[in-house]
Structure formats: C-alpha cells, structure tokens
Amino acid sequence: MIKIMIVDDDVQVTTLLGKLLRMEGFEITTENDSSKAHGVALAVKPDLFLLDLMMPEPDGFKLCRILRADPHFLFTPIIIVTALDDNDSRVVAFGAGANDYITKPFHAADLVDRIRKFTNN
C-alpha cells in the first residue's frame, strides 16, 4: 500500500484529504505541526508527501528543503497543496525540491491523478 504523509497546519484540511485518499486505497499519515513533520516522516517513511506552504515555522518551503536535504527523502515525491497561486511561490517551491504544485481549491480527481502519476499506482 502506498504511504502518503500530509503536512498542513489546518486540521480540517488534513482530515478531509486523509478521508479522500484513504477511500482511494492509500495509507495516510497526517501531521499538523510542521516542526514535527521530519521526525514523523523518518518513522513512517512515506512514499509521497503532500505539503502546505503557509504554516508556522518551518513553513512549507523550508520543510521541503529539509526533506530534500535528508538522503531518505531525496527522491520521495513532494506535491505542494496550497492556496498560494502566484508564480513566485511556484518558482520557490520547485527550487526547494517540490515535484508538483496544486492550488486550493482543487478537484479531488486531479489530486489523485497526480499522486498516482508519482507512485505508479
């Protein structure tokens, strides 16, 4: 089973995404405190990350860099899921190591398709 870790400081978002992706057959771990996300990721070893950008320290950009600096997650796909719809945020996110970028609100099917693309599932 594909393991996905969702990191977003909004509990409603992680709950909703978790339910949606569990229904699609994924194993889900959620973390609402971005400062704990790296440690949880080391324990869980997810196959893919969904990261929000607008979180308390570390924000999603910094967390993406932290994950990419860890050899365990060098090649783990990271999809940014955020309300930030400006080009600068996209450029910075991809520069931090993100593989994809999707803005809220989004179509659930689009997110699932993107996840399947990166997990070959």
Report which of 63, 45, 48 is spatially closest to residue 8, judged by C-alpha positions. Answer: 63
pTM (2 decimals)? 0.96
Tokens of 35: 């400062």
Q: How does pLDDT run across 35-93, given as a tens digit for each residue?
A: 999 999 999 999 999 999 999 999 999 999 999 999 999 999 999 999 999 999 999 99
Residue at 56: amino acid letter: P
- Record: fold of 24-116: Rossmann fold (3.40.50)
- Give the C-alpha separation, 85 to 94, whole Å: 14
Which pLDDT belongs to residue 120?
86
